[in-house]
Structure 1
Amino acid sequence: MTYLAHPDRYETMPYRQCGQSGLYLPAISLGFWHNFGENRPVETMRAIMRRAFDRGVNHFDLANNYGPPNGAAETAVGAILREDFAAYRDELLISSKAGWRMWPGPYGYGGSRKYLIASCDASLKRLGVEYVDIFYHHRPDPDTPLEETISALDQIVRSGRALYVGISSYSPDLTERASTIAQQMGTPLVIHQPSYSMLNRWIEDGLTDTTTENGMGIIAFSPLAQGLLTSRYLNGIPADSRLASNTSLHADHLNDETVEKIKALNTIAHERGQSLAQMAIAWTLRKSAVTSALIGASSVAQLDENIDAINALVFTEEELERIDAYATESGINLWAEATESKHA
């Protein structure tokens, strides 16, 4: 059946200006890491994308290595874009990234011009689009001069492969340097994608100030702390969870102290009339420096629950003070200064 988007899709979703650019993102964006590969039925993926767009989520976030396996998410999303969303391309924000390992050899990861441009071309082919709206360098590369990396992003924009460019998981100092280089080249970085949650607050130590001063927006990934900030772990570790399978998280991340934090935050969420996941997402959006929260979804029901976070985005000072007592660093920032030296 031909997909017709809901006529009221823009009525309830807030849209926020991304830094000082003309780019506006929905408060909630949909990402496809670990949940849009060969491990999901195509019709489930199609239903999630349709429902997201019907609710005003017009930003779909990918990367070259999303799947599983690598590249599968872009291939799957590309097919659904062609079949269902061709008429809506100008309403969509499609983003992709490169930086992590994608293929063998010294040019299969990092921040070199060769890798970034080749990877962008491959992403465009898998997605079946002429350009992406945002292209990111996915993580810092200590072995490539920053000038080369930013110059490659500049070329990607000037060649028409992307409309905007950004960075991910860069420290405040590296963000400042990258932004200066990009502005000198005439293709400013407009967005930074860091991990951020109530259990991972590193961006508050300088990064939000740096992005604001340089006219950049922030899209926060992993606002649910890899699922810890949901009801899943309130009573132990489910057999089908990421912790049980050591997928990105491992059992050490759920110690007694963290469990107590999660339970206390869950109580506050219920007092607000929200699930823990909804409050966690809303909390990341409490300050204007964060433009959008990036969520994943394995079902339409999960997607709807998370999008419903927009129904209660305002916090009282008392609520924020209570949350701060439990929203503390918990050793789950898996991407802190993420590097993979070619010379290691």
Structure 2
Amino acid sequence: MYLANEQRYEKMLYNRVGKSGLKLPAISLGLWHNFGDVDNFGTQREIVQAAFDNGITHFDLANNYGPAAGSAEINFGRILKEDLLPYRDELIISSKAGYYMWPGPYGEWGSRKYIIASCEQSLKRMGLDYVDIFYSHRPDPDTPLEETALALDQLVRQGKTLYVGVSNYSAEQTAEIAKIFRELKTPFIIHQPRYNMFDRWIEDGLTDVLADEGLGAITFSPLAQGMLTNRYLNGIPNDSRAHSGSPFLTEENVQATLDVVNQLNTLAKKRGQTLAEMALAWNLRQPTVASVLIGASRVSQLEDNLKALNNLTFSPDELDQIDNILSKLAKN
């Protein structure tokens, strides 16, 4: 029988999400990879237990996480039932709808039909009555934002989610849907964007919108699919994601960043950190970022990433050095 570590809250930092009443752990666990049916369930269970034992209270999922799509929610639901159910009120569980899930015209995007059905399916897969945050996973170019917003608002009023959020929305789309939610009095509190040293797009307007609207952010891909770790410091290993033909990371991507990555790694060492630890801390320097999502394929990887919390402070000179190093990548 699993019993959580009694000291689990002693080392974790919890940040308020915008102007809401909700706090998230500075580091949250994302279940995009490593929690599908193709992965070892015993390892999944160990990672989730270790996460909670270290104060990670937030577990982030989506309807299509796997593979197969839906299997990450099923596996997490099993872990919840077997281990974490007594701690449900200590957990923040999130899911999303937006990407392809089933055939036909109602199986993706942002219609009321899809969002309501998808949330119902996610709750059944996880064995939950409600999730804490439910997101529109991507904006729908063919559905009015009002329809998507009203569907999310309905889920709140039905008690199927406590808060709502958006992911992958532009600054302009975020501002527009925030206005709709404000009029509806929907608890819209969070945006989940991609953000890392190599992809700083949120700084070009989105962070301003978040601050103006009193919203928080939880960032995904903070390590740029592994490029901001020690994985590629000496080239591309044969067993790496970049070498395997991943659609999210290519050998060309990695080769273009090797010199910059090594310079960043030198700076990280001076800070007493690994490159990954520094990259996670760099995300959290952003005032609107309440939490950063990490993935893990083993417990040791999770524990290594948590060490980022030991040094979250950057001097102005260090931030200037990082910007100067990254500017070399932009020129190439």
Give the TM-score, by structure 1 length.
Answer: 0.94
How far, CA to CA, are the matches of 2:20 and 2:297 in structure 1? 32
C-alpha contact 2:260 2:328 (8 A) present in aligned 1: no
| Counterpart for residue 246 of structure 1 | 245
Q: Where do residues 1-344 of structure 1 align in structure 2 (5 Å cutoff)?
A: 2-247=1-246, 248-256=248-256, 258-328=257-327
Structure 1, unaligned runs of 5 or more: 332-344
1:203-229 residue CA offsets vs partner (Å, 9 max, x unmatched): 001101101111110001000011110
1:38-78 residue CA offsets vs partner (Å, 9 max, x unmatched): 22211101110111101100000000000111001000000
- Check 1:152–1:84 CA distance in 2 against 1; reply closer, same or farther (3 A cut): same
- Using the TM superposition, give the Cα deviation of residue 148 of structure 1 relative to its aligned residue in structure 2, in angstroms: 0.3
Q: Secondary structure at the match of 1:263?
A: helix
User: Which amino acid in 2 is paired with 1:249?
Assistant: L
- Check 1:328–1:134 CA distance in 2 against 1; reply closer, same or farther (3 A cut): farther
User: Which amino acid in 1 is paired with 2:59?
Assistant: F
1:115-151 residue CA offsets vs partner (Å, 9 max, x unmatched): 0010000000001111000000001110111100011
* Count of aligned pairs between the two proteins: 329
- Check 1:295–1:328 CA distance in 2 against 1; reply closer, same or farther (3 A cut): farther
User: Which amino acid in 1 is paired with 2:269?
Assistant: H
Percent sequence identity over aligned pairs = 58
- Using the TM superposition, give the Cα deviation of residue 328 of structure 1 relative to its aligned residue in structure 2, in angstroms: 4.9
User: Which amino acid in 2 is paired with 1:251?
Assistant: E
- Using the TM superposition, give the Cα deviation of residue 35 of structure 1 relative to its aligned residue in structure 2, in angstroms: 1.3
Q: Secondary structure at the match of 2:214?
A: coil
Give the TM-score, by structure 2 length.
Answer: 0.97
More helix by share: 2
C-alpha contact 1:199 1:329 (8 A) present in aligned 2: no
User: Which amino acid in 2 is paired with 1:316?
Assistant: S
| Counterpart for residue 341 of structure 1 | none
Q: Secondary structure at the match of 2:9?
A: coil
How far, CA to CA, are the matches of 2:224 and 2:272 in structure 1? 21
User: Which amino acid in 1 is paired with 2:249?
Assistant: L
- Check 1:100–1:139 CA distance in 2 against 1; reply closer, same or farther (3 A cut): same
How far, CA to CA, are the matches of 1:192 and 1:36 in structure 2? 23
How far, CA to CA, are the matches of 1:203 and 1:94 in structure 2? 24
How far, CA to CA, are the matches of 1:49 and 1:98 in structure 2? 23
Structure 2, unaligned runs of 5 or more: none
